[in-house]
Amino acid sequence: MANTNYPSASSQQTGAPRTPGNNTGRNVLIGLLVAALLGTWGYILWSKNAPSGTGTTASTNPEVATAMSESDSLRQMFNLAEMRLDSITGANNNLQGEKTTLQKEIDDRKAEITKILNDKKATAGDLQKARHLIGELNGQIGKLEAQVTQLRGENQELTARNTHLSQEKDVLNQNLDTRTKENDALASTVDVGSTLAASGMSITPLKEKRNGKEKQTNFARKVDLLRVAFNVENRITTSGPADLYVIVTDPKGTVVQNTQLSSGSMTTRQDGDRNFTAKVPVEYEQGTRKGVAFPIQNPDGFVPGDYKIEVYHNGFKIGEGIRSLRKGIFG
């Protein structure tokens, strides 16, 4: 049944609506044809029973008159059958697609009836055959009406089911959207919560001696490097590698850049895009406090003033400190 060419409930709705005016006009026309058909049959009965010697010239040849009247009657019967068929197919455009077996039989009957009715030399036997074929045609039209009615009912049921399924789908989509938003919010919370926290920061200016030892100094012209040290910890972050980004800003407000320290740029969560001085990889162990220490060297040397150290992880600033370098006696 699913592969038939009868209309679905949706095609009924999208087609041109049949207005009450159209139905009234069709009913009036059918009524007139029925009245004419009854009149023709009455004439046939009268002509057969009329006494000889009365009536018009046609009465001198009663067989011809009767055949002509019966042909007109059959044509009116055929017209009524066609109008009945049109009332089905006219409101069901999908019936004009691939022909079903029943539709082909109907078309064959119509063609055969039309051929007989258009034949001016049709005999009484031919007309009797046409009457029989019209009866069969009406029977086939009745079957077609039953099929259309059944399919309409099935399509209405399918439409109701589809509407119900669409409503269930909408509810599921709404629930899915809600769950997705909740999961995104939870993931964001976990992401933020997994950011390491830095504490106990120290910044030590050092001078490297020829023997490889380091000596602390506060005079800018003697400083070879700044050793930055602090602790990181977090109870949520899983064990594994983590990248820390260190920004060193000199007294002039310029970020110290050193290719040996993998200097570059990054995007922060709160401060936008920023240049960083060093990328420091850390192997972190969940739930522990880990000490981190690394040297910062400036290819341009160090000058007197305040050096600001900022540490970022996961796009967030997790710690900062300032170290002042003094101006020496000789510069």
Q: Are 306 and 321 in contact (CB under 8 A)?
A: no
Compute the distance between CA of residue 245 and CA of residue 222 in angstroms, rounded to an integer.
26
At residue 40, the pLDDT reads 54
At residue 14, the pLDDT reads 39
At residue 249, the pLDDT reads 95
At residue 6, the pLDDT reads 37
State the number of CA atoms in the 13 A half-sphere of 130 facing the CB. 28
pTM: 0.48
Q: Are 89 and 109 in contact (CB under 8 A)?
A: no
Q: Which residues contact 290 (CB under 8 A, 6 or more apart)?
A: 231, 232, 233, 282, 284
Q: What is the pLDDT of residues 221-248, one digit of tens each?
A: 999 999 999 999 987 778 889 999 999 9
At residue 324, the pLDDT reads 95
Q: What domains can you pick out in the chain, each with its CATH number?
A: 9-167 (no CATH), 197-325 (2.60.40.10)
Compute the distance between CA of residue 128 and CA of residue 329 in angstroms, rounded to an integer.
136
Tokens at 295, concatenated:
């040297």
Tokens 């399509």: give the residue: 155
Ramachandran assignment for 315, one of left (phi > 0), alpha (psi -120 to 50 degrees), beta (any other):
left
Low-confidence ranges of the chain (pLDDT < 70): 1-68, 88-100, 186-191, 329-331
Q: Are 82 and 30 in contact (CB under 8 A)?
A: no
Q: Which residues pair with 291 in a beta bridge?
A: 231
Tokens at 123, concatenated:
């005999």
- 3 state DSSP class of 169: helix
Compute the distance between CA of residue 234 and CA of residue 146 in angstroms, rounded to an integer.
76
At residue 75, the pLDDT reads 79
